[in-house]
Structure 1
Amino acid sequence: MAISRRAFGIGLLAASAAGTGGYVYLRQHPEIAGRFGEPKRLFGFAGGEKEGFLANARVRSVLERRFGLILDARRAGSVEMVRERTLLDQKPQFLWPSSSVLVDVARSSGVKISRDQVIFNSPIVLYSWDRIADGLVKAGFAEPAGGPRYTVDLLKVLKAIIAGESWEAIGVSGLFGRARVVSTDPNKSNSGFMFAGLTASLLSGDVIALDSLGKIDGDVATVFRRMGYKPPSSGKLFDDYIAGGAGAQPMIVGYENQLIEWVLQDADRWKRVEANAPSKPVILYPKPTAFSAHPLISVDRSADELIDALISESLLELAWEEHGFRGPLGTIGKARNSLLQSRLIERIDAVLPIPDAPVMLALLDRLSTA
């Protein structure tokens, strides 16, 4: 039977509408799209602090089975992944640094961004040891916050470091040399990058502006010069801290989730540490601190759906329950694990914004010779 042109045209229009509607529906429900066809493989770089999350078998299973995604996520420092041509020339489809400022730095490096979205939040903290923290409390640099948690007057600590004070002078006996806090290399890794911005703003009395950077950049450089060797990634620095103990690594800069993740990975190991170790790891929350947002940058449109997958409730809960990452609003998840809940401060109100990208890039240039 012949089909009229009008009927044929209506059929094409209906098929087009159905196809468009189907695309929109699947775009809005990637967990359904992921069930059909071969999994999509995506290559990119992620900060070392997210290595445990990305290697988690449950996370990888959810990504593949529900969303049809398999990730080849290679570790790189957050700063270098958005600036270094040797990395960008590998044509990553996504980048996952640890600061929203680095989205602007990526753009200034010529990265064409399809989409970006903050997935996690994690405040910058200091890691130390119970006996060192107790000494800081007695000397008026810190206050206990219940359990293995403390708050610390970061500006007061920084001024003591700049003045060249010894550990003994700030209340800590038995440690050699001048007081110091060690971060990652700010030109490679975000935790060092953010600590540099936080230090600059604290020393200036407000969020540092470009025209006032010259007044304090020498003091910031002194803080970083006193550190000695600065590892290239947050994961490496935390591993050195755990392995070295109180003598080798008295105080370092890291993300809140790192100790939480280490404790949760092996509860029996933590019980042995609590029972037998001469010094126990503790978190010092700086007042004020800075929140490190972890934005997923989709460089290729094919990676857009990775953002939708990562902000799904199932993966955000896994990120909290097994790795200690706060959600997009800085919120914590359900209190299902006492090891986790007893180590975090639920609300962090004393937060200082990080300076904007031009200021941070100028500061990095100054610190490259520190």
Structure 2
Amino acid sequence: MNRSIIGLIILLVVAGLAAGISFLDLSSLTRQVERRDPVEVSIFYGGEKSALLKNPQVAEIIENRYKITLNASKAGSVEMVTTLDSTGRHCLWPSNMVAVELARLSGKPVKSDETIFNSPIVFYAWSDVADALTSAGVVAKRNDGFLTADVQALGKLIEDGARWKEDLGLNIYGPFKVFSTHPAKSNSGNIWSGLLATVLNGGDVPTEESLPTLLPRIEDYFAAMGHMEASSGDIFENFLKQGMGARPIIVGYENQLVEFLNENANFADLIKSKIRVIYPEPTVFASHPLISLSPVCDRLKEALIDPDLQAIAWAQHGFRTGLIGVENDPSEIKAAALPDTVSLVVPMPAAGVMQRVIAAVR
């Protein structure tokens, strides 16, 4: 064989080996860059997110894609940012942006916050209750079929001392009330106390100056409520279990019925015939901020804003995204119908005002 040909073959073999070694080295370097050391992240989270965190697909993303071992404890959204000891916790995940400022006011070492989801506050009512409130002019059906409640008319029923049996014609004992979780412990109850304060203030968001005349009325309302659950998940479960006599109408999150129907498809027809979702007008958006108390929390933030996790949270759990530029398509939710948007929204009172409300009802 010609020496020049042999030399060319040898050169090509050497070049090929060099390229292969280079490729292997680059691949190794790339894998090393992508490889993350496992990390444990300890958090308090609001009970309305329990089903989401138990979702195997969500757990797979958090554990395998982001190498996170999650040490998660359920707590009331207000409790976690005020009275609970957060020593050793890397993140707090409540359900209200006011909670971020409450955490700062309580001395928590807040480093940053990121809104992960949004959930409008809704009322869940038994069908007979919804019908009675419709007859009373409080609830109406929109052109798109969704039910809405005039919160000012609702507030008038409360202020006038309307009674379920005598004034609304329902076989329910006692004065009319919208039941909620404890405002000093749980976010849905806290939001309802803020919305109620706005209603009692003639539709204007209360300030430090207007609050003194409102506080006794708010305090009396919740004092007469009796036992109040500390978790939004608990009151929704008790609402379904105990029936109309015990919990005629409650405050909850839009996503809760979606989750229930996804997990209990065999009850879908019964629930849809007996339960009505009513959108307060105006309502309040419950944002779900991830509050970072430690740099370790940043890894969990990455996982929670992962597009795949966000898609699961919407389609299976009904959580509207909190990310800018991302839209949710209601057709992706098979369990229940949700409106495209919720437009009539009122802000929560300032954190200082809500601190005084919490102190009054505690």
TM-score class normalised by the smaller sequence:
0.7 to 0.9
Which residue matches 2:328?
332
1:177 Cα deviation after fit: 1.8
Give the letter aligned to residue 119 of structure 1. I
Distance 2:60 2:34 in 1: 12
Sort the Cα spacing of 1:178 and 1:265 in 2 relative to 1 into closer, same or farther, 3 A. Answer: same
Distance 1:100 1:281 in 2: 29
Given that residues 77 and 189 in structure 1 are in contact (C-alpha distance below 8 angstroms), is that contact kept between their aligned partners in structure 2? Answer: yes
1:166 Cα deviation after fit: 0.8
- Three-state SS of the structure 1 residue aligned to 2:341 is coil
Given that residues 93 and 299 in structure 1 are in contact (C-alpha distance below 8 angstroms), is that contact kept between their aligned partners in structure 2? Answer: yes
1:362 Cα deviation after fit: 1.0
From 343, 351, 354, give the equivalent of 2:345: 351
Point out the more displaced range, 121-130 or 260-269.
260-269
Sort the Cα spacing of 1:362 and 1:337 in 2 relative to 1 into closer, same or farther, 3 A. Answer: closer
Distance 2:333 2:283 in 1: 25
2:128 is the counterpart of 1:135: no
- Three-state SS of the structure 1 residue aligned to 2:319 is coil
Distance 1:182 1:333 in 2: 31
Which residue matches 1:22?
none
Which residue matches 2:68?
69
Sort the Cα spacing of 1:273 and 1:295 in 2 relative to 1 into closer, same or farther, 3 A. Answer: closer
Give the letter aligned to residue 90 of structure 2. Q
Distance 1:251 1:234 in 2: 14
1:337 Cα deviation after fit: 3.5
CA RMSD of aligned residues (A): 2.1
Point out the more displaced range, 139-148 or 107-116.
139-148
Which residue matches 1:293?
287
Sort the Cα spacing of 1:158 and 1:297 in 2 relative to 1 into closer, same or farther, 3 A. Answer: same
1:149 Cα deviation after fit: 4.0
Equivalence map 1:116-155=2 (5 Å): 116-145=113-142, 149-155=146-152
The alignment covers a number of residue pairs equal to 330
Give TM-score, length-normalised by structure 2.
0.86
Give TM-score, length-normalised by structure 1.
0.84
Which residue matches 1:218?
216
2:282 is the counterpart of 1:283: no
Equivalence map 1:140-219=2 (5 Å): 140-145=137-142, 149-204=146-201, 205-219=203-217
1:345 Cα deviation after fit: 2.1
Given that residues 254 and 318 in structure 2 are in contact (C-alpha distance below 8 angstroms), is that contact kept between their aligned partners in structure 1? Answer: yes
Which residue matches 2:232?
234
1:38 Cα deviation after fit: 4.6
Distance 2:78 2:262 in 1: 28
Which residue matches 1:247?
245
Given that residues 126 and 253 in structure 1 are in contact (C-alpha distance below 8 angstroms), is that contact kept between their aligned partners in structure 2? Answer: yes
Gaps of at least 5 residues in structure 1 are 1-25, 27-31
1:367 Cα deviation after fit: 1.7
Q: Return the index of the structure with the highest Cα Rg.
A: 2
Distance 2:268 2:33 in 1: 38
Distance 1:366 1:53 in 2: 33
Which residue matches 2:13?
none
Sort the Cα spacing of 1:33 and 1:213 in 2 relative to 1 into closer, same or farther, 3 A. Answer: farther
1:48 Cα deviation after fit: 0.2
Sort the Cα spacing of 1:321 and 1:170 in 2 relative to 1 into closer, same or farther, 3 A. Answer: farther
1:194 Cα deviation after fit: 0.9
Given that residues 330 and 339 in structure 2 are in contact (C-alpha distance below 8 angstroms), is that contact kept between their aligned partners in structure 1? Answer: no
Give the letter aligned to residue 243 of structure 1. K
Equivalence map 1:263-282=2 (5 Å): 263-274=261-272, 280-282=274-276
Distance 1:121 1:312 in 2: 16
Give the letter aligned to residue 253 of structure 1. V
Point out the more displaced range, 265-274 or 46-55.
265-274
Q: Percent of aligned positions with the same letter in both sequences?
A: 37
Distance 1:79 1:281 in 2: 28
Sort the Cα spacing of 1:33 and 1:248 in 2 relative to 1 into closer, same or farther, 3 A. Answer: farther
Distance 1:294 1:325 in 2: 10
Give the letter aligned to residue 317 of structure 1. A
2:303 is the counterpart of 1:309: yes
Gaps of at least 5 residues in structure 2 are 1-29
1:358 Cα deviation after fit: 0.6
Distance 1:149 1:257 in 2: 15
- Three-state SS of the structure 2 residue aligned to 1:348 is coil
Given that residues 162 and 223 in structure 1 are in contact (C-alpha distance below 8 angstroms), is that contact kept between their aligned partners in structure 2? Answer: no
Given that residues 97 and 190 in structure 1 are in contact (C-alpha distance below 8 angstroms), is that contact kept between their aligned partners in structure 2? Answer: yes
- 1:41-97 per-position Cα deviation (integer Å, ceiling 9, x unaligned): 111100000011011111000111211112111100001101124x323x2111000
- Three-state SS of the structure 2 residue aligned to 1:211 is coil
- Three-state SS of the structure 1 residue aligned to 2:82 is coil
- Three-state SS of the structure 1 residue aligned to 2:124 is strand
2:359 is the counterpart of 1:362: no
